[in-house]
Amino acid sequence: MKLTTPTEFITTSWKNGKGQTIELAINEQGTLADFDWRISMAGVTGDGTFSDFTGYTRCLVLVEGSGIQLSHMSAEGQATKDQLGRLLDMAQFDGGNQTLATLVDGPITDFNIMTRTGTWHAITRICRAADELTLINPVKTFVYAVMGETQLRAMTPESRWSLPQGHLMQVEAGEFAMLAIKSPGCIVVELHPIAG
């Protein structure tokens, strides 16, 4: 297991130059311009168009603020919308879409998972209100504590950990046969490689 504290997160500029991203984790040797998967957070302070991430699948989770509406236009001309109105609501969409973000009532912060389409697949789960999630033989997994303290437990009594709010825990594939996660509010991201 690897714990990453907020002071270890890396701040980078958006591709469109209109804001900053807090990078929490990225694949080994990955860069902002070329990566297989990346986990980050960003503050959105105004309406605007998202950067183009053609070739990537995106998942966005609302972690602070009153809400955001995402209006997507695909390369084929198909229009869709996602409404994130409460904390930990999420939306998944093609990074190549033209996506317009419209704030509901002031700035928000989002948690963002991006995976290279056809190479990696992310399964994102939300724990709310002291829900308990149990993972059997977990793959590469990240747990981010959004609200309060998140509890992690493996099979033995001594295998217990507390994850403070705003911290990220990384678990490698094969590290545990079982991992139980209990939290008032956390995001769990499982990263699955896609066989080529």
Q: What is the DSSP string of 152-190?
A: EE-SSTT-EEEE-TT-EEEE-TTS-SEEEEEEEEEEEEE
Model confidence at 16, pLDDT cuts 50, 70, 90, reads low
pLDDT at 17 over 90: no
Question: Would you say how long the chain is, in residues?
Answer: 196
Say how far apart CA 47 and CA 124 lie, in whole Å: 25
Q: Find residue 196's DSSP bridge partners.
A: none
pTM of the predicted structure, to 2 decimals: 0.93
Domain ranges of the chain: 6-118, 121-193
- Mean per-residue pLDDT, 149-160: 88
User: How do residues 73-128 score in pLDDT, each as one tens digit?
Assistant: 998 999 999 999 999 999 999 999 999 999 999 999 999 999 999 999 999 999 99
> Which residues lie closer than 8 Å to 76 by C-beta, 6 or more apart?
none
Fold equal for 6-118 and 121-193: yes
Q: Which of 48, 94, 45 is nearest to 66 (CA)?
A: 45
CATH architecture of 121-193: Sandwich (2.60)
